[in-house]
Amino acid sequence: MKGRGAAGRIVRALGIQTGDVIRAGVGGKVYEVAGVGQPRNVLVNPRYVIILDHPETSLSLIERGQPRGGHYQINDVRREGGRWFTAANVEIYVERPPRAPVPAASLFDLIDPPDAVEELAAPAPYSLNPRVDYHAGPRRVWRCEDCGEDFNTPGPSFLCAHGCGGPNGAIPVYYVQAPEPGDRRTFTSYALMTLNHGRYEAISYGTRDGRHDARAEAA
């Protein structure tokens, strides 16, 4: 996570930069972006791997109007054109207030202006193994803990080997595709997805008669 430097330099990732204002919906609380994370498209955990078909960043926020400046963080933020969404497909509203020029205070500032923007580049798309079906579903896509190769199994299993001869097993791989543009349904979080060994998908709110709640289907 990179924040604004002492000289006021700006850090930006996926179109969001330090000093931007984040609003949590109409009439919601207002936050200032204090730091942005290096964009990534693979999340590695000792218990699982999440591969994204898009880059995401994380934001460090300070709540405006709080005397002690409450600190918060939003993880897994993706960009969709000129809009931004969390992993749960909840939109966050980004504004860029006017920023007063920062005067040069030294010769170094003339060489490296304080208003310069440091762009944290998005990574290249993850290199999928062409021999692996990443859409096979939970606990059917794995990564070997010894050689790092991705592979499939025909059924769910917690201990899988693919013949590399290593002494360890494998950890599950989850392949996450961003919702289609315009899809405004709420999606499961990555935490619930991995906890329940499920797919990344829209949440269906059931009703007593078995029909889906319109909230889940509304665009």
* Residue range 91-108, pLDDT digits in tens: 999 999 887 666 666 666
Q: What is the pLDDT of residue 4?
A: 57
The 10 Å CB-count burial string (b at 16+, else e) for 73-95 is ebebbbbbeeebbbbebeebebe
Q: What is the pLDDT of residue 145?
A: 85
Q: Which H helix or E strand runs over 76? A: strand 71-80
CA distance 172 to 139: 6
Window from 9-18, 53-62, 111-120, 134-143 with minimum mean pLDDT: 111-120
Work out the pLDDT band at 219, boundaries 50, 70, 90. Answer: very low
For 9, 16, 138, 175, 196, the CA distances from 99, given in Å and listed in that order, are 12, 15, 47, 40, 45
CA distance 151 to 133: 8
120 with 57: CB under 8 angstroms? yes
| Greater model confidence, 178 or 219 | 178
pLDDT at 35 over 60: yes
Window from 22-26, 140-144, 187-191 with minimum mean pLDDT: 22-26
CA distance 186 to 13: 24
DSSP structural state of residue 38 = P
For 45, 157, 205, 207, 211, the CA distances from 216, given in Å and listed in that order, are 30, 32, 6, 11, 11
Please name every residue paired with 172 in a beta bridge, in sequence order, or none if there are none. 142
**Could you give the dihedral angle defined by the CA atoms of residues 176, 56, 83 and 179, in that order, rounded to the nearest 10 degrees?**
0
143 with 169: CB under 8 angstroms? no
pLDDT at 79 over 70: yes
Burial, 26: exposed, middle or buried (Cβ in 10 Å; 0-12, 13-18, 19+)? Answer: exposed
pLDDT at 163 over 80: no
The reported pTM is: 0.80
Work out the pLDDT band at 164, boundaries 50, 70, 90. Answer: confident
CA distance 136 to 138: 7
Closest CA to 30 of 77, 79, 65, 80: 65
Work out the pLDDT band at 158, boundaries 50, 70, 90. Answer: low
Question: How much is the mean pLDDT over the chain?
Answer: 82
Q: What is the pLDDT of residue 208?
A: 40
Alpha helix (H) ranges present in 86-168? Answer: 107-111
Alpha helix (H) ranges present in the chain? Answer: 107-111, 190-195, 214-217
